[in-house]
Amino acid sequence: MPANKKYLIQSSWIKASKFLAAFLGSLFATMMAHIALSYIFDQRIVLVTALYSTLIIWPLLILVVYWIKKAWISWIIFLFIIILSTIVIYILKP
């Protein structure tokens, strides 16, 4: 049984934006959060933890993108995480 057309995304730009937000936005947000954590905690501990937690957090953020109806809201969430991580890195930089 095919999906109902009114629930599918019609615009190819929105589809591309959601895909880029899911793949690149969630990856950058995950990596920036781990880099910010490495400035707060010991870098060796964060590196070992990041290898495993990235495999958990990244797919969860991908699911968040497709759970949210609007693509720009997911971009705002990821930009907020990236900017917050950048501020933490800038403040705690030696």
| Regions of the chain with pLDDT less than 70 | 1
pLDDT for 1: 64
| Helix residue ranges, H only, the chain | 12-20, 26-40, 43-67, 71-92
pLDDT for 3: 75
pLDDT for 2: 72
pLDDT for 69: 87
**Has this prediction a pTM greater than 0.95?**
no
